[in-house]
């Protein structure tokens, strides 16, 4: 018999989406049971009882066969894209959420199972979000003990002198994720350099990549659209550590199921500042598409991978920031501009295109009254 079981926030959400099933014995036969079926056998081993229907393939699998299939697919992704070389030190970007917890678990497991010869470490970024990141970092600290991996935490407060709590007070909830995303990228690199790692791997999954493709199409951001489907990026300059995404082809739903059945210790609360994130709209749209056609996620990724940019299209030229030395296509990197805006009480400085002001900022010339007026106002 089949029963849709609700357990935990994520499981609850994926169950509600309607195209996933967990198979369990039910103790009652009341009307809430939509269908009554005979136990389904695992379509891989044909011995054990299936406990789930894979969102990716539609196959009904038992726990052990699902674990094996999931882990093997990540291994194949790593091998096919030659993500690592023996002897490398790899920093796993760990937030305490489901993706990075599954990534840390699977990386440790595959490193041992297939003798990758990697030295693994955890790197976490503390954005300074009370009631969210402080709690999730506790999960990372437990993961550090469970997986016996070294951990480095870098904080926005220590790197930039600002916490996200303080930034939101100044900029409101409309553009906060712009600040957070730009600062996080640089903070991870700084943490990786402190740990002397050769590579950073992040928990971006197939849904994240598909969302990013959609967002870049909607924004018309050709440069990012060309880069965003890459499974690994080479170092783009000093201070930038190469990155890769071993979970690039793993569906979010399967990551949730993997974490759930493995009983991994992860943090599942959403960021308290997230409701207005632009990404949220792309995510909702993607989930709607997925509910009609589960392959939409992979289709969008493949579309992004196969897009070619017409010759002659102008691309930003990468240089370095004149202030901090981080990669930048402008005189100042985005992080330095955002920081300058915060420190001067002009939060709009880094939002939108104010490149012509970079030289003024660098040479510490005062801005005109009308320039300051435009950069001060923020819609909360
Ligand atoms: Fe930062 Fe926005 Fe993510 Fe919250 S939702 S952690 S503010 S990027
Ligand atoms: Zn800079």
- Segment 117-127 shows an average pLDDT of 97
How confident is the model at residue 20, as a pLDDT? Answer: 54
Task: Tell me if residue 36 falls in helix, strand or coil.
Answer: coil
Q: What are 143-197's pLDDT values in tens digits?
A: 999 999 999 999 999 999 999 999 999 988 888 888 999 999 999 999 999 999 9
Q: Percent of the chain at pLDDT above 90?
A: 56
Q: Rounded to 5 degrees, what are φ and ψ at 147?
A: -95, -5
Task: Tell me if residue 25 falls in helix, strand or coil.
Answer: coil
Would the pTM count as exceeding 0.75?
yes
pLDDT at residue 251 greater than cutoff 80: yes
Distance between CA 128 and CA 309 in Å, rounded? 39
Ligand 1 atom nearest to 271, measured from its CA: 4
Alpha helices in the chain (DSSP H): 9-16, 63-80, 98-113, 133-147, 156-160, 164-171, 176-195, 206-219, 222-227, 252-261, 278-292, 296-306, 334-344, 358-362, 369-376
- The contacts of residue 20 (CB under 8 Å, 6+ apart) are 14, 52, 53, 55, 253, 257
> Which residue, by CA, sits nearest to atom 1 of ligand 1?
180
> Which residue, by CA, sits nearest to atom 8 of ligand 1?
177
pLDDT at residue 1 greater than cutoff 60: no
User: Helices 9-16 & 252-261, crossing angle to 10 degrees?
Assistant: 130
- Nearest ligand to the C-alpha atom of residue 269: 1
Q: What are 51-81's pLDDT values in tens digits?
A: 999 988 889 999 999 999 999 999 999 999 9
Q: How far is CA 204 from the centre of its chain?
A: 4
pLDDT at residue 198 greater than cutoff 70: yes
> Which residue, by CA, sits nearest to atom 2 of ligand 1?
177
How confident is the model at residue 197, as a pLDDT? Answer: 95
Ligand 1 pocket (Cβ < 6 Å) reads 127, 164, 176-177, 180-181, 271, 273-274, 277
Q: Rounded to 5 degrees, what are φ and ψ at 91?
A: -95, 125
Distance between CA 306 and CA 56 in Å, rounded? 21
Higher-confidence residue: 167 or 374?
167
- Nearest ligand to the C-alpha atom of residue 279: 1
């Amino acid at each position: 018999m089949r029963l849709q079981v609700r357990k935990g926030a994520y499981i609850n959400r994926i169950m509600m989406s309607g195209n996933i099933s967990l198979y369990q014995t039910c103790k009652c036969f009341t009307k809430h049971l939509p269908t009554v079926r005979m136990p389904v056998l695992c379509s891989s081993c044909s011995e054990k009882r299936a406990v789930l229907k894979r969102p990716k393939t539609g196959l009904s699998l038992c726990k052990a066969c699902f674990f094996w299939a999931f882990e093997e697919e990540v291994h194949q992704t790593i091998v096919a894209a030659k993500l690592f070389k023996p002897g490398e030190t790899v920093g796993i970007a760990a937030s305490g959420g489901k993706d990075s917890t599954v990534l840390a678990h699977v990386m440790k497991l595959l490193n041992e199972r297939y003798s990758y010869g990697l030295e693994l470490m955890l790197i976490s970024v503390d954005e300074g979000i009370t009631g969210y990141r402080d709690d999730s970092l506790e999960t990372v600290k437990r993961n550090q003990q469970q997986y016996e991996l070294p951990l480095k935490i870098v904080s926005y407060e220590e790197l930039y002198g600002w916490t996200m709590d303080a930034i939101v007070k100044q900029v409101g909830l409309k553009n906060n994720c712009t600040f957070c995303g730009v600062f996080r990228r640089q903070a991870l690199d700084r943490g990786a350099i402190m740990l002397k790692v050769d590579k950073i791997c992040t928990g971006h999954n197939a849904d994240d990549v598909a969302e990013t493709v959609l967002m870049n199409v909607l924004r018309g951001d050709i440069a990012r659209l060309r880069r965003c489907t890459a499974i690994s990026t080479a170092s783009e300059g000093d201070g930038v550590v190469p990155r890769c995404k071993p979970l690039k082809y793993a569906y979010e739903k399967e990551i949730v199921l993997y974490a759930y059945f493995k009983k991994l210790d992860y943090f599942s609360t959403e960021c308290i500042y997230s409701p207005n994130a632009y990404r949220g709209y792309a995510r909702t749209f993607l989930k709607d598409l997925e509910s009609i056609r589960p392959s939409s996620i992979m289709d969008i990724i493949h579309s992004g991978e196969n897009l070619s940019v017409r010759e002659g299209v102008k691309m930003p030229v990468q240089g370095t920031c004149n202030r901090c030395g981080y990669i930048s296509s402008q005189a100042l990197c985005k992080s330095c501009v955002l920081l300058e805006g915060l420190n001067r009480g002009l939060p709009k400085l880094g939002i939108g295109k104010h490149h012509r002001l970079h030289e003024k900022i660098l040479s510490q010339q005062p801005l005109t009254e009308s320039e300051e007026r435009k950069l001060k106002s923020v819609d909360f």
